[in-house]
Every structure is written in C-alpha cells, then in structure tokens.
C-alpha cells in the first residue's frame, strides 16, 4: 500500500483535519490536530515556527499521521509513518501555500491576516515510509 493508492487519496479528500504525532525530547508522543494537503507522494502541513511540534520535528523528523472516520459504514482510516522535511521558500512552497488558501478559505486568510503566509510560519512535507489503511475500498 502506498499513499498514491486511489482509495487512500479519496479518503484523505474527505478530511480537513488529521492528527500529527511527533516525538518529545523524552520520547513521549505529542499528538496535534493539523490542517494538511495531500498528494500521491506526501502530506504537507504548516505550523508556527518555535512551537513544540516544530522543535520536535527539527530534532527528530520521524512522525506518525492518523486520519479516521466512523459512520454507519463502519470505521475506516489510515495511519502514515514517515519523516518530515522543512520546505524553504521556493515556487513549489508558494504553490502549496496557495493550495492551503484554497482548501481552507476563508479561515486561513483570517488566521494569517491576509493571503501571504506569515514569516513566522514553516511548511513541512511528510514522506511516507509505511501506510496502514483500514476499511478503505
């Protein structure tokens, strides 16, 4: 199973928030709900630089991401293990910021105070090493 699997992509299309787990200095997990983008190769997220989850990622890029749903069709979801890499200011990152603005309109503009990604934000991409889906078809 890969992130590019059609059932996984369709499932992630239905999600606005997924949970990111990072590793604290003492090894304990820190799990936080996050806005995200996905494509067949990676999950992309934005955060405020200096927050604990960002410090954790800078120290140890290993992560786990979980998305889940439960309804009358049952429980389904996906767990993604991988590594995070921070993206520098490039045309690719600016295009991803535009995708975030489109997906989370108008909330993200309100949060940012405009359409430009504030300078204290960081963007990181999670490249999967293991995908564990359940109930997806």
What are the pLDDT digits (tens) for 91-126? 999 999 999 999 999 999 999 999 999 999 999 999
pLDDT (0 to 100) of residue 73: 82
Residue 77 pLDDT more than 80? yes
Q: Which of 123, 21, 2, 5 is nearest to 67 (CA)?
A: 21
Secondary structure element (H or E) that encloses residue 123, with its range: strand 121-134
CA–CA separation, 43 vs 124, rounded Å? 8
Q: Is the dihedral of CA 111, 113, 118, 120 positive or negative?
A: negative
Contact 65, 127 (CB under 8 A): no
**DSSP readout, 10-73?**
HHHHT-S-EEEEEE-TTS-EEEEEE--EE-SS-EEEEEETTSHHHHHHHH--EEEEEEEEEETT
Task: Map out the domains of the chain with their CATH numbers.
Answer: 6-134 (2.30.110.10)
Would you place residue 52 in the very low, low, confident or very high pLDDT band (cuts 50, 70, 90)? very high
Q: How confident is the model at residue 22 (pLDDT cuts 50, 70, 90)?
A: very high
What pLDDT, on a 0 to 100 scale, did the predictor assign at position 12? Answer: 97
Query: How much is the average pLDDT of 28-57?
Result: 98
Please give the Cα distance from 123 to 109 (Å, whole number).
Answer: 16
What is the distance between the alpha carbons of residues 56 and 92, in angstroms, rounded to a whole number?
24
């Amino acid at each position: 199973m890969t992130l590019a699997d059609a059932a996984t992509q369709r499932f992630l299309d239905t999600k606005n928030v997924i949970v990111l787990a990072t590793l604290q200095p003492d090894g304990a997990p820190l799990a936080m709900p996050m806005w995200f983008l996905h494509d067949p190769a990676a999950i992309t997220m934005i955060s405020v630089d200096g927050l604990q989850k960002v410090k954790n990622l800078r120290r140890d890029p290993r992560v786990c991401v979980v998305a889940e749903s439960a309804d009358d069709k049952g429980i389904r979801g996906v767990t993604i293990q991988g590594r995070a890499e921070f993206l520098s200011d490039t045309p690719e990152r600016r295009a991803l910021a535009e995708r975030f603005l489109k997906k989370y309109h108008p909330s993200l503009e309100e949060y940012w105070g405009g359409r430009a990604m504030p300078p204290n934000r960081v963007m990181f991409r999670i490249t999967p090493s293991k995908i564990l889906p359940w109930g997806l078809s």
